[in-house]
Amino acid sequence: MASNWKEKSPSEETLKSLEGVRSDNQNDCFLVQSEESTWGWFAFRPRCLQWLNSSRFLMAVLFFLTITQGMVSLTFVPMSLPSLERRFLLNSKQTGTLISAADITSMIFGTLASFYGGHSHKGKWLGCGAIISGLASAIYSLPHFLIEDYDPQSVSTKSLPFCVSNKTFVAKDEDCLTTARSSSSYYFIFILAQLLSGVGSSPLLSLAPAWLDENVHPKHTGLYLGMFFTAFIIGPGIGTMIGGKLLEVYVDIKMPPGLQLRPLDHRWIGAWWLGPFVFAFFLIISGFILLGFPSKVPGAVEMREEAIKNKYIIGKDNNLQGRLKDIVPATKSLFTNKVYIFQICGMISGTFAWYGAGPFLYKIIRDRYGAPQFLAGLFMSILSLIGGNVGVWIGSAVVRGLGLRDSCRKAAKFVFFANIFTMSILSFLVPGCEYPRYAGVDVPYPNSSLGQLQLSSSCNINCHCTTNQYSPMCDSRGVNFFSPCYAGCSPLDAKKGFANCSCTSIPSKLTMGPCKKRCSYLYLFVGYLFIMTVIGVCDQIPSDIVLFRSVPDNQRSYGLGIQFVLSKLMAALPGPIIIGYIIDETCSLWKTKCSQRGNCLNYDYDKLGWIIVSYGLPLKALSLMFYFLSWYYCKELEIRVATTTDDVNKTESNCKSTAV
């Protein structure tokens, strides 16, 4: 019976029957020459290591790879964006494009990997992908080693932050040209790393679940997929905690002499490069281990045939053999599958807003709700590590308890109702820190005679101020000034403790640094998002069950690949760019260098929240409609599959009777 199937390791008889066996010594650890069913590389296949050749160890390696991949791609890179914006003067649209760059190549190579990988050795695709991801991660950290040491005071520009009427600062053309070229070169390296990362990560979501599914019994699929998606959630969870601590390490490890900065200082930049650099090696090691696995672990072929016979899964479509000419009919078969296509459309429309906002979530928690680096990372790890895992295991328990693994219709029904209660997009309406006000930007200067809001005013017009150096100051009213120069403070005023500068109200005394923001509702925001994460993730396994049970057995990998590509093309690719553009549009104050706009210094996050919700809610309603249609057409699919299987069994029975 299929339920009695157990995974097997190579038996003594199997090993002895293999051709080309030779013994290097007197113990049992000899090399096996066959490559079809043993673990190892080329001719190096030690007998004493064949205990690794099992679905359990395969699950362990994929578990580790998925965690590491999630840490690098889904946490270290997004968490580095605020640091990259300040270090390399990038805006949110550029960093959003940086995130989307990986989706471009993963979309292209995901299609090829899912189709050809579905008809060939999936382990080789996954192993090579992991190695490429490791190289991409190392390249991502490369600009840190190429750029000069970070200068928090910007002393290299020789700019004066004070109001000095007889001096002016003008950047040399050649200096600006050099700065522009170097910034473009660093940005190109980041884009290249992300493009390679997309190539390396593309096989993971499409081939790994299918590879696990064909090496375990269908009754155990929910458990193994639950472990796989748990790893997909654990990775970002661990990554946010490690990334948060790394960002509390100074970017150059050692600070310049005489400088004592703290992570909460506005000039602080953490070691954004350290995580990608170190974990690149773990990705490469995982890749080499996966390259040692055979296509099928011992016993998997017999188990699969028995599962098809017992109607646990749909049999192969023998018209598709993995050839180039089969791509068109295979794609047509999937796009005309109503259950499959409506399920994917529901996933895309339901996650579009989060695909865009997700990479900026760390930045939002830190800037909008005032959480320090480590606390922001801790909250993100709670959301992904605890909330995501609880959701996955609830989904796995529901699959087993309600019998969803055996019914496409029941799984689709659960996905529909689970999504009714998932309204995580509303979390952006939770208010955060009060909006920082800047003189000349949000409020007029106290003694200004000009009718419009601008940094240059009558009180500082002779100070020859520059926006190249951002050195904020705070007055007693809670109003920020861009720098001592824009506050009209001379070096003499500095000696007096910045009292009675020309652009401030009298009497007034300024303090260095931005005004402290009163922040509230941080825990409400995280708590609401935690509940929505649990509900939103618990439908992941039932959704995959719908996809697995709605396509032929040899089209599962390609089906997951098409889902992966469509998600990237219609959600993950445009999402970060659109959200990055929206974030830039809510910026009220920019830092400039050489007359070029750099990174944003102040955002209107309340306005940003309303904009995200306004286009996220209609997409959520659309996703519910698609999930309902998928559930509706599942009944028709199950009837058709049952009828086809009965006809095949009757034909086989008649053939046997005729032969007798």
Write the pLDDT tens digit of every residue in 205-229: 778 887 777 777 667 767 777 788 7
- Of 479, 501, 516, which residue is a domain's last? 516
Side-chain half-sphere CA neighbours of 624 within 13 A: 13
Question: What is the model's pLDDT at position 93?
Answer: 83
Q: Give the least confident one: 45-54, 121-130, 272-281, 286-295.
A: 45-54
CB 491 within 8 A of CB 485: no
Residue located via tokens 């990038």: 90
Q: Give the least confident one: 230-244, 539-553, 621-635.
A: 539-553
Q: Give buried/exposed letters for 274-306 (b at 16+ CB in 10 A, else e).
A: bbbbbbbebbbbbbebbbbbbbbbbbbeebbeb
Q: 503 φ, ψ to 5°? A: -100, 10
Tokens coding 486: 């824009």
Looking at the fold, whether 395 and 454 belong to one and the same domain comes out as no
Looking at the fold, whether 356 and 401 belong to one and the same domain comes out as yes
Q: Is the pLDDT of residue 331 over 90?
A: no
Question: What is the model's pLDDT at position 58?
Answer: 84
Residue 165 lies in a domain: no
Question: What is the model's pLDDT at position 651?
Answer: 37
Looking at the fold, whether 105 and 231 belong to one and the same domain comes out as yes
d(CA 101, CA 513): 36
CB 70 within 8 A of CB 197: no
Q: Is the pLDDT of residue 173 over 50?
A: no
DSSP conformation class of 371: -
Sign of CA dihedral 460, 463, 465, 469: negative
Grouping H, G, I as helix, E, B as strand and the rest as coil, residue 211 is helix
**What is the band of 583 on the pLDDT scale with cuts at 50, 70, 90?**
confident
Residue 25 lies in a domain: no
Looking at the fold, whether 102 and 212 belong to one and the same domain comes out as yes
Q: What is the pLDDT of residues 192-210, one digit of tens each?
A: 999 999 999 888 877 888 7
Q: Give the least confident one: 150-154, 170-174, 353-357, 385-389.
A: 170-174
**What is the band of 645 on the pLDDT scale with cuts at 50, 70, 90?**
very low
Please, which residues have CB within 8 angstroms of residue 138's CB and are 6 or more apart in sequence? 276, 277, 280
Looking at the fold, whether 558 and 637 belong to one and the same domain comes out as yes
**596, β-bridge pairs:** 593
Looking at the fold, whether 454 and 559 belong to one and the same domain comes out as no
Residue 53 lies in a domain: yes
Looking at the fold, whether 402 and 384 belong to one and the same domain comes out as yes
CB 573 within 8 A of CB 355: no
CB 359 within 8 A of CB 96: yes
Looking at the fold, whether 446 and 390 belong to one and the same domain comes out as no
Q: What percent of the chain has pLDDT over 70?
A: 78
Mean pLDDT of the residues in the chain: 76
> CA 280 from chain center: how many Å?
16
Residue 203 lies in a domain: yes
Looking at the fold, whether 397 and 531 belong to one and the same domain comes out as yes
Tokens coding 577: 């760019």
Average pLDDT over residues 513-528: 84
Question: What is the model's pLDDT at position 136?
Answer: 95
Tokens coding 455: 């940094």
Average pLDDT over residues 418-429: 79
Three-class SS of 290-349: HCCCCCCCCCHHHHHHHHHHCCCCCCCCCCCCCCHHHHHHHHHHHHCCHHHHHHHHHHHH
Looking at the fold, whether 416 and 552 belong to one and the same domain comes out as yes
d(CA 377, CA 379): 5
Looking at the fold, whether 425 and 352 belong to one and the same domain comes out as yes
Average pLDDT over residues 62-90: 89
Q: Which residue range(s) make up the domain with 301?
A: 34-150+185-310
Which residue type is seen at 258?
G
Question: What is the model's pLDDT at position 139?
Answer: 96
- Of 259, 292, 310, which residue is a domain's last? 310
Average pLDDT over residues 543-564: 78
Residue 399 lies in a domain: yes
Sign of CA dihedral 303, 306, 312, 318: positive
d(CA 52, CA 30): 15
**What is the band of 654 on the pLDDT scale with cuts at 50, 70, 90?**
very low
Residue 93 lies in a domain: yes
d(CA 630, CA 650): 30
Q: What is the pLDDT of residues 584-610, one digit of tens each?
A: 888 888 877 766 777 788 888 888 888
Residue 175 lies in a domain: no
Other C-beta atoms closer than 10 Å to the C-beta of 613 total 17
Looking at the fold, whether 354 and 287 belong to one and the same domain comes out as no
Grouping H, G, I as helix, E, B as strand and the rest as coil, residue 507 is coil
Q: Is the pLDDT of residue 264 over 60?
A: yes
Q: Give the least confident one: 7-21, 44-58, 123-137, 324-338.
A: 7-21
Q: What is the pLDDT of residues 334-379, one digit of tens each?
A: 888 888 889 899 888 888 877 777 778 888 888 888 888 778 888 8
Question: What is the model's pLDDT at position 315?
Answer: 53
- Of 475, 494, 516, which residue is a domain's last? 516
**What is the band of 157 on the pLDDT scale with cuts at 50, 70, 90?**
very low
Tokens coding 199: 């190539």
**What is the band of 656 on the pLDDT scale with cuts at 50, 70, 90?**
very low
What CATH number is attached to the domain comprising 413?
1.20.1250.20
For every residue of 99-149, DSSP letters joined together read HHHHHHHHHHHHHHHHHHHHTS-HHHHHHHHHHHHHHHHHHHTHHHHHSPP
Average pLDDT over residues 31-54: 69
Grouping H, G, I as helix, E, B as strand and the rest as coil, residue 614 is helix
Average pLDDT over residues 232-239: 83
State the total domains in the chain.
Answer: 3
Residue 660 lies in a domain: no
Question: What is the model's pLDDT at position 506?
Answer: 65
In the chain, % helix, strand, coil (3-state, to 5) comes to 60, 5, 35
